[in-house]
Amino acid sequence: MANKESSNLSIVVVNFNGGEYLIKCLDSLKSECEKTSLDVWVVDNVSTDGYIVKAQQKFPEFNFILNQENLGFSKANNIALRKIQNENILILNPDTEVLPGVLNHMLQFMESHEDVGAATCRVELANGSLDWGCHRGFPTPWASLLYYLFKNDSLYHLRNQDISTTHEVDSITGAFLLTRKSVLDKVGLFDEDYFMYAEDIDLCFRIKKAGFKVMFVPDVKIIHYKGVASGIKSHSQMITTATVASRLKAFNSFYETMKIFYKKNLAKSYPFFINWLVLLAIDLKWLLAKRKLHV
pLDDT tens-place string over residues 145-175: 888 778 888 898 999 999 999 999 999 999 9
Instruction: State the DSSP code for 10.
Output: E
Check residue 276 and give its pLDDT: 87
pLDDT digits over 178-227, tens only?
999 999 999 999 999 999 889 999 999 999 999 999 999 999 999 999 87
Instruction: List % helix, strand, coil for the chain (3-state, nearest 5).
Output: 40, 20, 40
Question: What distance in Å separates the CA atoms of residue 149 and residue 142, rounded to the nearest whole number?
Answer: 10
Of the candidates 10, 18, 11, the one whose C-alpha atom is nearest the C-alpha of residue 45 is 18
Instruction: State the DSSP code for 97.
Output: E
pTM of structure: 0.89
Instruction: State the DSSP code for 115.
Output: T
Say if residue 34's pLDDT is above 60: yes
Tell me which H or E stretch contains 20: helix 20-32
Question: What distance in Å separates the CA atoms of residue 286 and residue 291, rounded to the nearest whole number?
Answer: 10
Are 42 and 64 in contact by the 8 Å Cβ rule? The answer is yes
Q: Is the CATH number 3.90.550.10 carried by domain 9-289?
A: yes
pLDDT digits over 246-286, tens only?
667 777 777 788 888 889 989 899 899 898 888 888 778 77
pLDDT digits over 100-114, tens only?
999 999 999 999 999
